[in-house]
Structure 1
Amino acid sequence: MFKTILLAVDVNDPKGAERPAATALQLAGAAGAKLHIMNVVPDFGMAIVGSFFTQDHNAQIMAEAKTALETWAKALKDAPKDTVLHVDQGTIYEEVLKEAARIKADAIVVGAHKSQLKDYLIGPNAARIARHAQQSVFVVR
């Protein structure tokens, strides 16, 4: 059914990533699918904000995010040995959708947090991914 699955996680919220990871592992195992795991580092939002940081600050943040994702992924039980890790920077839902298209994912697995009032006005990343994805999306609470 699925050949390629993309799991989007926030390594800064390991507890919140547990259930989506379990779901992605179960889907990948049942289908014999290739598993990709990604973490997105939010960008600065506005160029003027980025100007307050040193030039190597971005590279340092990305390196730390990559290390954190590698550490988190190693702790997963039953993760396929050929799991591919991705760390991108930008707007979370946009980067997840770009990565899913780039790797030709058949399914995306994301976690959902408890709704807040602002989510009904702006829309959380999981909702935006589900609304705009060309693939099946599993939103795990």
Structure 2
Amino acid sequence: MYKNILVPIAPDHINDCRDQIAAAQRLLAEDGRIVVLSVVEELPSYVGSYFPKEQIQESIERFEKALKTAMPSDRIETHVVSGHPTNTVLTWARKHGVDCIVVASHREGLSGLLLGSTAARVVRHAKCSVVVLR
């Protein structure tokens, strides 16, 4: 059983995360915690300059409310941050003492092998246990 489980959820998969949450709840120690982290990719500077800074922050706040509403339990912490998905997940896990990451693999077939996915990079570089759901 794990005490500190991180469940990264892509912003476009907020409604498809039931299996990840259920797996995390099964793996969770009685006194443990689950943190759902969603990473919004930063806009390139040439695109971001067309948007007011407040608009991006407002979008993150709106998405964080939607994520919190979608969670089946008040015991699940939610966070939405901006950055590179893989690097942000791995940094979060290190900084917060995560002992297990439950990640979904959405890419199928040969393209996943050639291009790599966030799940594959997390598996290769995480310093803790990683459970991959297909």
Work out whether the TM-score is over 0.5: yes
CA drift of 1:11 comes to: 4.5
Question: What does residue range 4-23 of structure 1 map to in structure 2 within 5 Å?
Answer: 4-23=4-23
Moved beyond 6 Å, runs of 4+:
none
Q: Compute the TM-score of the two structures, normalised by the length of structure 1.
A: 0.85
Q: Which structure 2 segments of 5+ residues have no match?
A: none
Q: Does 1:125 align with 2:118?
A: yes
- 1:95 lines up with 2:84 in the alignment: no
| CA apart distance, 1:122 | 2.4
Q: Is the 8 A contact 1:40 1:92 kept in 2?
A: yes
Paired residue type of 2:60: M
Q: Give 1:106's aligned residue.
A: 99
Distance 1:84 1:135 in 2: 19
Shift of residue 93 of structure 1? 1.1
- State the 1:14 CA deviation: 3.7
Note the aligned Cα RMSD (angstroms): 1.7
**One-letter code of the match for 1:130?**
V
Unaligned residue ranges in structure 1 (runs of 5+): none
**1:100 positional shift:** 0.9
User: TM-score with structure 2 length normalisation?
Assistant: 0.89
How many residue pairs match? The answer is 133
Q: Residue 41 of structure 1 contacts residue 65 of structure 1 at CA under 8 Å; is this kept in 2?
A: no
Q: Deviations over 1:44-71 (max 9, x none)?
A: 1x21111111221211111111111111
Q: CA deviation at 1:12?
A: 2.8
